[in-house]
Amino acid sequence: MLNSETGLKDIVENPKSIFYLLNQDEKEELQHHISLSQYKKNEFIFKEGDKPNGFLLLVEGKVKIFKEGVGGREQIIRMTKPLGLIGYRALLGEETHNGTAVTLEQSLICTVSPEFIFNRALKNSDFSYRIIRKLCKELGFSNARTVTLTQKHIRGRLAESLILLKDKYGFEHDGTTLRAFLSREDIANLSNMTTSNAIRTLSTFSSEKVIAIDGRKIRILDLNRLERISKLG
Amino acid sequence: MLNSETGLKDIVENPKSIFYLLNQDEKEELQHHISLSQYKKNEFIFKEGDKPNGFLLLVEGKVKIFKEGVGGREQIIRMTKPLGLIGYRALLGEETHNGTAVTLEQSLICTVSPEFIFNRALKNSDFSYRIIRKLCKELGFSNARTVTLTQKHIRGRLAESLILLKDKYGFEHDGTTLRAFLSREDIANLSNMTTSNAIRTLSTFSSEKVIAIDGRKIRILDLNRLERISKLG
DNA sequence: TAGCTTTGATGCTATAAAACATACATCGAG
DNA sequence: CTCGATGTATGTTTTATAGCATCAAAGCTA
C-alpha cells in the first residue's frame, strides 16, 4: 500500500507541484475536488480515444504514455514521475486522449475535477501561466524527439533514451544504477526500435563497458561516452 | 509590396486571430506594442538558439520552422499560414528558439512586445486559455507526427505530408492544385526523407495518377487513394 | 516440482531507404 | 548569350534495421 498521506500533502505543499502556487482559498477548495486511486502494475489509466474525465496528477509510481502506430507498434511518447501530470493535454485542449497511459509499477493517482480546473484554477493567471510554460517545455521536448527519433541511428537513439531515463528518474543510491526497471520491450518502444535490436544494442553497450546489465537493472558506467554516442547519432 | 492595411485589421478583427478575444481596452493598447516587418522569400526570421525578442504573428506569406538534426539534415516541424503564430513557444516558455524560421515566400510579420504579452494579454484568462488550447493542439500534432514520421514508410510519409499541405494551405481555384509551391528539398525535409526519394516517390505517385506534377505545382487527383496510402504506412 | 508462459539473447535473411553517381533542365548574373 | 549554380530526375550500390526463427532463462501457476 502506497502512502497517501504524504502524497496528498505534496500536491499543495511541494513547490514542484502544479498546485503549489494556488492561493490559500483555492487550495482549500481543491480538497473538495480531488480523489485518489490506486493502480497496480501494468494497469490502464486511459486509452487513446477516451474522453478525459479529470485532471490527473501522479502522486506515486511511474506511468508511460504511448501511441499506437503502424501495425500496432507502440511508441512511448512520455514517461511520468511523481508530481507529474497525466493526460492534461487532452483535457485542457478539449480533445480525446491521443495516447494510452499505463502504469509501470504500483501507482497512486490524484484526480482533480475538470470543474475546479476550468472554473477556478485557470482563472488564476499564475496557474495558467505555469500550465503554459509546462506545455511549452513539453512541446519543445516533443519536437526535439521527433528529430532525434527519425534521424539518429539505433545506438544514438538507445543512448538518448538511457540518458532520458537518467534525467527523469535519476540513480539509485550507488549513483550508477538507473532508478527505472523497464522491460526490453519498453526500452525498445521508447527508442523507436524492435525489441531484438534494443536487446542487441544494450549487449553491445555492455560489452563496450558503457553500461552494465543485470536483468532489468542498468548501470551507467560511462556517461560521457553515452552522451557522445547520443550526440553522434 | 504586401498590403499591411487589411493585415493589421485582421489581427484584432478576425476571429481566427489569437488577439480577437482581447477586450477593447487591451486591443487599443496592443496597437502601441506592435510593429510590422516585411521579409523577402527565403529570409531567416530567427535561428535555433536565438533568444526570442517578441511574439510573432504571420500576417501574410508562408513560413517554415525546422530543426537541424544529425549531419545538418533538417526536419521541418511546422508550417505557418496567415494569422498563425511563430516562435511563441520559446517566448512563453522562457527558452531559446529550438527551431529556425525561414520564409517560403514574401511575408509580412507582426511583432508584439513581450511586455504586452506578459503584462496584459496573459492577465486575460480568455487569452491565456486560448494559448493553452493552441499549445495542446500543437503538442498533439507533434506527438502524432513523431509516430508517423518514425513508423510509416516513405510512401505513407509523403502522402501524409501532401495531405498536411492541403489541410494547411488548401487548393487553388481549380480545387486540385495545392496552394503551396515547395522545393523538392522542402517536401523531403517535411517528410523525413532524402530529396532523391521525395522526387522518386512523387514521380511514382504521378505515374499512379494519384497526383499530377507540373514543376512545383502539385495537383491532388485522388485524395481517397492518398489518404489510404497515408494510413497504410 | 513440473509444466507453461513470458522475457531475454542471438543468428540469419530480406528489404527499405540512404548514399552515391550522373545527367538534364532551369535560372539568374555577368 | 554563355556560364556556373541550383534544382530535378533516375539508375546503381550499400547499409541499417526490421523481421523471423530458435533457444535459453526466468517467472508463474497449478
Q: How far is B174 from chain A (nearest CA, A)?
A: 33
The pLDDT score that the predictor gives to residue A232 is 85
The model's confidence at residue B6, banded by pLDDT at 50, 70 and 90, is low
Predicted confidence (pLDDT) at residue A35 exceeds the cutoff of 90: yes
Residue-wise pLDDT for A199-227, tens only, equals: 999 999 999 999 999 999 999 999 999 99
- The protein footprint on chain D, as nucleotides within 7 A of a CB, is 7-11, 16-21, 26-27
Estimate in Å the CA B133 to C1' D17 gap, whole number.
38
Cβ proximity of A132 and A121 under 8 Å: no
**What b/e readout covers B31-48, taking b as 16+ CB neighbours within 10 angstroms?**
eebbeeebbeeeeebbee
**Contact check, Cβ <8 Å, A133/B89:** no
The pLDDT score that the predictor gives to residue A3 is 59
How many other CB atoms sit within 10 Å of the CB of residue A39? 21
Compute the average pLDDT of residues A153-161. 98
The model's confidence at residue A7, banded by pLDDT at 50, 70 and 90, is low
Interface of A to B at Cβ within 8 Å reads 67, 69-71, 73, 75, 77, 89-90, 92-95, 98-99, 122-123, 125, 128-129, 131-133, 135-140, 142-152, 156, 192, 232-233
The pLDDT score that the predictor gives to residue B3 is 60
The pLDDT score that the predictor gives to residue A70 is 87
Residue-wise pLDDT for B178-195, tens only, equals: 999 999 999 999 999 999
Residue nearest to nucleotide D10 (CA to C1'): B200
Residue-wise pLDDT for A91-146, tens only, equals: 999 999 999 999 999 999 999 999 999 999 999 999 999 999 999 999 999 999 99
Range with lowest mean pLDDT among A6-10, A49-53, B174-178: A6-10
**Contact check, Cβ <8 Å, B150/A152:** no
The pLDDT score that the predictor gives to residue A5 is 62
Predicted confidence (pLDDT) at residue A61 exceeds the cutoff of 60: yes
A202, closest nucleotide (Cα–C1')? C9
Cβ proximity of A96 and A50 under 8 Å: yes
| Strand D, CB < 7 A, residues 86-125 of A | none
Residue-wise pLDDT for B87-133, tens only, equals: 999 999 999 999 999 999 999 999 999 999 999 999 999 999 999 99
Helices and strands counted in chain A (H then E): 9, 10
Cβ proximity of A8 and A112 under 8 Å: no
Cβ proximity of B108 and B68 under 8 Å: no
A38 touches strand D (CB under 7 A): no
The pLDDT score that the predictor gives to residue A1 is 47
Q: Are strands B211-214 and B217-220 parallel, antiparallel or unpaired?
A: antiparallel
Compute the average pLDDT of residues B65-83. 94
The sign of the CA dihedral B91, B92, B96, B99 is negative
The model's confidence at residue A9, banded by pLDDT at 50, 70 and 90, is confident
